Amino acid sequence: MSEVNFASVIETTAAVAKGDVSATEATQQALKKIEQDDAKINAFNTVASDSALAQAAAVDEKIASGQPVGPLAGLPIAVKDVICTEGIETTCSSNILRGWVPPYDATVVEKLKAADAIIVGKTNCDEFAMGSSNESSAFGPVLNPRDLSRVPGGSSGGAAAAVASGMVAASLGTDTGGSVRQPASFCGVVGLKPTYGGVSRYGLIAYASSFDTVGVIGNSVADAALLHDTLAGQDVRDSTSLPGARESVSDAVEASQDLKGLKVGVIKELNGSGLAGFEPEVVDRFRASVDTVVAAGADVEEISIPAIEATLGAYYMLVPSEASSNLARFDGVRYGHRASGGNTAEMMRATRTEGFGAEVQRRIMLGTYALSAGYYDAYYAKASRLRAKLIADFAAIYSEYDVLMCPTSPCVAFELGAKEDPLSMYLVDIATIPANLVGAPAISVPFGTGAADMPVGIQMIGPKFGEGTICRVAKAIEEAKND
């Protein structure tokens, strides 16, 4: 059987298009690799072998009969288990949704299918995407393919591990506070979070609706750009979807020669000299990445955004507040698990107590408290004002700078069980949440290793629809790494 190179989306799809390998062979290869390796990594909650092979056969038939095929023809791809897939169980890695099979596809899944990609399965994640290590999943933790004693990051840990271990060339994740970029950073792959509203959220099971985005994970910036282009666009079924044509990010990446004329701001609060907690090896790699960007011709300056110091508190008020409202729908009546006995209220209470894990319950309680009449002004409203200030601060900075840079995470992948108290886990998100609070596009690209030889990710944050620009800078960093 011919083999394809899952290190590259572009190579995989080109091999299928040329007929070097069939979509069925590429899919069988992915399924075989999953069968061999996933028993130890635990990246998949569901492997959809039958539907994947049926989809692949349909693509092969199209090719055989000379019909045109889509840009991702024959590409086996994994989808995070918070995104609805028609006919394939979708659980949010939660006991409350175990066994639930959505009757429809999310828009992003429709788009993957229209591009002739093959959905091979649903990836493990933190329960309802709440977490930074994939340890809060009801399906057990995912292990980091680079070191099985360490976490893959979260919440899209399975999506990143599936790509990093070569089971698939690409995956879809979601990013509400860093869940695409941080696991990409921990696993040594590329993760791209789009502009809020740039990619449809229809069919994404909501965590925090004003923060949620669907992002992509791949092995290179060019792959991430291609995947993103396939998903981007306005969707009338998502009321927060932004109008207007999307520029091709792939074209921007391909056309890019050097970074001359680009103004890049290094965020002081997040570069190791501001807020504490950044590992020295991460800071070293970050400095080296900045040197690379300077060498590529960009004009780099340090900038300060003092409001960043308050973002963690604001995020962990606003996001649980939205979650407490969004997760009210899981009541034992409409979806998934239902406890038996008692009257309706008792049934609902028992269903939610049995169905939700500890972290989800904590966030629902936090959010309900922050929204309650007596505390709304002190917590929710105050956090909203901080968010408004941060949006204004970023807008002012983007009138002068094209791209902002900082490490993706203050640390490399840590050992399983290393962060037991919730606060130490939340602190890991310090560098990723600003982009979510302001709705900005951001990318994480690997750039060597830090402590324990684990990968370090470098983050670029752009203005609204600045995906092309952040990808150009990421590409320069990626190329320097390969020198």
Neighbours of 32 (CB within 10 A): 12
Distance in angstroms (rounded) separating the CA atoms of residues 481 and 483 = 6
Sequence-distant (≥ 6) Cβ neighbours of residue 66 within 8 angstroms: none
Q: What's the min distance (Å) between Cβ of 207 and ligand GLN?
A: 6
Please, which residue, 63 or 129, has the CB nearer to ligand GLN? 129
> Least distance from C-beta 74 to ligand GLN, angstroms?
30
The residue (of 331 and 429) whose beta carbon lies closer to ligand GLN is: 429
What strands, in cross-sheet order, belong to the sheet with 76-80? 44-47, 118-123, 76-80, 170-174, 214-218, 190-193, 442-449, 455-461, 403-407, 263-267, 299-303
Which of 80, 111, 113, 475 is an active site residue?
80
Nearer to ligand GLN, 73 or 162 (CB): 162
Give min distance, CB of 297 to ligand GLN, in A. Answer: 33
Which residue among 137, 156, 179, 289 is the active-site one?
Answer: 179
Q: Which of 155, 156, 165, 220 is catalytic?
A: 155
Nearer to ligand GLN, 33 or 363 (CB): 363
Sign, CA dihedral 466-468-472-475, equals positive
Q: Which residues contact 68 (CB under 8 A, 6 or more apart)?
A: 62
- The phi and psi torsions of 404 (rounded to 5 degrees) equal -115, 150
Residue 154 has φ and ψ, to the nearest 5°, of: -160, 170
> Is 179 known to be catalytic?
yes
> Is the CB of 130 or the CB of 431 nearer to ligand GLN?
130
CB of 312 to ligand GLN, least distance (A): 10
Residue for token pair 């994994």: 78
Closest approach of ligand GLN to the CB of residue 243, in Å: 25
Residue 273 annotated to the active site: no
For the record, the structure tokens of 341 come out as: 């006995």
Q: How many CB atoms lie within 10 A of CB 255?
A: 10
Q: Minimum CB separation from ligand GLN for residue 129, in Å?
A: 4
304 is catalytic: no
Q: Is 252 left (phi over 0), alpha (psi -120 to 50) or beta?
A: alpha
Contact between residue 225 and residue 471 where contact means Cβ atoms under 8 Å apart: yes
Q: Which is nearer to ligand GLN, 323 or 445 (CB)?
A: 323
Q: Pick between residue 74 and residue 410 the one whose CB is nearest to ligand GLN.
A: 410
CA distance 340 to 355: 12
Whole-number minimum distance, CB 192 to ligand GLN, in Å? 14
Return the SS3 of 83.
strand
What is d(CA 191, CA 457) in angstroms, rounded to the nearest whole number?
9
Distance CA 82, CA 73 (A): 24
Nearer to ligand GLN, 177 or 355 (CB): 177
Please answer whether residues 385 and 246 qualify as being in contact, where contact means their C-beta atoms are separated by less than 8 angstroms. Answer: no
Q: Are strands 442-449 and 403-407 parallel, antiparallel or unpaired?
A: unpaired
Sites of contact with ligand GLN (CB under 6 A)? 129-132, 155, 174-179, 207, 319, 429
Minimal distance, residue 268 CB to ligand GLN, in Å: 23
Rg from Cα positions in the chain: 21
Using DSSP, state whether 260 is helix, strand or coil.
coil
Residues with catalytic function: 80, 155, 179
